[in-house]
Amino acid sequence: MATIVAVGLSLAACAVLARIGITIWPSTAGYDHFRFADYAKLTIIGVVLACLAWPVMCLLSSRARRPFFWLTIVVTVVGLAPDVWIIYKGQPLEAVMVLVAMHIALALITYPALVLISPQRPRR
């Protein structure tokens, strides 16, 4: 259930952020990475990987929330590397700022969805 919620809310957040980006910066209309098919596949892959990491963290730690929180931060920061790269390659800064907001939104949605909907159970 947590995976479904995380994926669904993440896709919705990305759609809203892309729409907001286009509204604020009309020059970004038609930007490739704002197409649903483009961000949806990467969003689904990233969120599903996070959803697979949560039970692994629960196996590795008796108190998995804190290390998973820090892992979420590290992965989110590392996940911004492609955004830095596409800015370097000349992509519009305004559009890339929206992509950065999408990355942050995924972390803000996925972490609580996992730790609250699918909390770690005490070991027997």
pLDDT along the chain (124 residues), means of 10: 96 97 94 93 95 94 94 96 95 96 97 94 74
Q: How far apart are CA 82 and CA 69, in angstroms?
A: 22
pTM above 0.85?
Answer: yes
pLDDT at 80: 96
**Rounded to the nearest 5°, which phi and psi values hold at 74?**
-60, -45
Confidence at residue 49, expressed as pLDDT on a 0 to 100 scale = 96
